[in-house]
Amino acid sequence: MQLRTTATATEDDKRFMKVAYEEARKGYEEGGIPIGAVLVSSTGEILGQGHNLRIQNSSPILHVPSPPNIYIYIYSIHPTPKTPTNHTTQAEISTLQSAGRLPASKYANTTMYTTLSPCSMCTGAILLYKISRVVIGENRTFMGSEDWLGVKGVEVVVLDDEGCRELMERFVRERPGDWGEDIGEEGGEGCGC
C-alpha cells in the first residue's frame, strides 16, 4: 500500500499520536481492537479521546448502545470523567462522542489523531463535523478512506508510526477472525501485514 502524506508531521503530531496510541493499547488490553483516537483543538487542547470498543460492546456496526452491564467512562474537556453512558464504539466516533456537544465552529480547526487509517464510517463523521486535519498513525495494516478525506479538502498526514503498526499487526496475527469481522471480510484477508 502506498503511504501518502500531504503535510509534514510536527512534534505536536507525534505527541498527540502517543495519546492515541495509549488509547489503542487500552483497547487491546481489554480484549478489543487496538485503534485509538484523540481530537485536539488548534490551541492544543484535547477535546476528546477514545478507543474502539466494538468487541467489548458486542456491536456489529458500532452505533448501538452498550449492554447494560458495560460502563465506559468518557474522557473529555471536563475535569472529571462524565457519568458512565451508553456509547458508540469506533475509535474516531468514540472520540467525537467523548468531546461532547460542541458548536460546529469548535470542530472546524481541530485535528483528529487516529492510530489506524479511518474506515468509511469514521471518515463520514470526520467530514460531517468538518474536521480540517487528520493525522494517521499507520495505513499499512488497513487503508481506509484517506483519499475521500483529501478530495473533500481535509489535510491528511500519515506518520507510518512503528508502534501503531506493530500493535495492529500483533492483533491481526493473534485474532484474524475478529479483524476480518471488523473490516467485513472473512478471516482478515484484507490485512496488508
Taking only the tens place, the pLDDT of each residue in 159-177 is 999 999 999 999 999 999 9
Structural domains of the chain sorted by starting position, each given as residue range(s) with its CATH number in brackets: 11-187 (3.40.140.10)
pLDDT tens, 97-123? 778 888 888 998 999 999 999 988 889
Residues assigned a catalytic role: 92
Residues linked to residue 114 through DSSP beta bridges, in sequence order: 37, 136
Does the predicted model carry a pTM greater than 0.85?
A: no
- The stretches of 60-184 forming alpha helices (DSSP H) are 91-99, 104-107, 120-128, 146-151, 162-174, 176-183
Is pLDDT at 72 greater than 60 in this prediction? no
Band the pLDDT of 187: cuts 50, 70, 90.
Answer: low
pLDDT, averaged across the chain? 81
Is pLDDT at 133 greater than 50 in this prediction? yes
Q: Residue type for 85, please?
A: T
Is pLDDT at 38 greater than 90 in this prediction? yes
Residues linked to residue 111 through DSSP beta bridges, in sequence order: 40, 133
Pick the closest to residue 39 from 60, 16, 23 (CA basis).
Answer: 16
What's the CA angle centered on 70, arms 66 and 75, to 5 degrees?
85
**Integer Cα distance of 76 and 83 in angstroms:** 11
